[in-house]
Structure 1
Amino acid sequence: MPTKSEVLEKTKTFLPELYNVILHNDDKTTMDFVIEILMSIFNKSFDDAAKIMLEVHNHGNAVCATYTKEIALSKQRAVIEAAKAANFPLKCTIEKE
C-alpha cells in the first residue's frame, strides 16, 4: 500500500462535445435579416456576418459558430424566436462537430 507521499494523482481533462450552429437558406428570409441575426445573436462583425450570409445564400447553409451543446441549443432557440417574430421561415439546426 502506497504511503501518502507516494499517492499518484490521476487527472483526466474533460473536453465537452462541441456542436455547430447552422443556418439554412430559404426563399423568404432577407439577407439583411440574416446579417442582423449573425451580428446580434452570434456577435459577428458586419464583415464576418456578410461572409457567412453569402455562404448560406450560395451553398444552402453555413456554420455560424461552434459551442457546447447547451449554448448551441440556446443560440438555436434565439434564432428561431427572432425569425418567428419577424415572420421569416429561417431554419437553424445544430449538429455535433
Structure 2
Amino acid sequence: MSSTAGSTLTREEADLSEQQRAAANRPYQVVVWNDPVNLMSYVAWVFRSYFGHSKEKAKKLMLQVHHEGRAVVATGPREQAERDVTAMHNYGLQATVEEAE
C-alpha cells in the first residue's frame, strides 16, 4: 500500500504543487533602469515616497541607476515585485522584475 493512501493527489501533482510553492516563496527583485527623461531628484523622490527609503538610501540608489544604468530597489515575493514595477511605470520610471540570485 502506498503512503499516499487516502490522498487525492498523484505523486506528479504533489511534486508540481511543491514546485509551485517553492517558486512562490522565491524572492524577486525590482530593478529600476536609467533613462534620459527623469531628473535624478525626481527618481530619488520616487524611491523615498513609494518605497519609504531614507534620503541617503534613495540618493545612493538613484546614483547607482545613473552611473551603472540600473539598481535593485526592492526585493520580495513575485506579486509584490510586480505591483512595485507597475507603480514605477506609473511614476514614469523604467523598471522590471527579476528573480533574485
| TM value normalised by structure 2 | 0.73
Shift of 1:69: 0.4
The match for 1:19 among 23, 28, 33 is: 28
Q: CA–CA distance in 2 between the matches of 1:76 and 1:45?
A: 20
Name the structure 1 match of 2:85: 76
Runs of 4+ aligned residues of structure 1 deviating over 3 Å after TM superposition are none
Question: Which residue of 2 is the match for residue 93 of structure 1?
Answer: 96
Q: CA deviation at 1:95?
A: 0.2
> Which has more helix, going by share of residues?
2
Residue 39 of structure 2 corresponds to residue 36 of structure 1: no
Q: 5+ residue gaps in structure 1?
A: 1-13, 84-89
In the alignment, structure 2 segments of 5+ residues that lack a partner are 1-20
Pairwise CA RMSD: 1.5
Instruction: Report the number of matched residues.
Output: 79
SS of corresponding position for 2:88: helix
- One-letter amino acid of the counterpart of residue 74, structure 1: R
Identity of aligned residues (%): 33
TM norm structure 1: 0.76
Residue type matched to 1:91 in 2?
Answer: Q
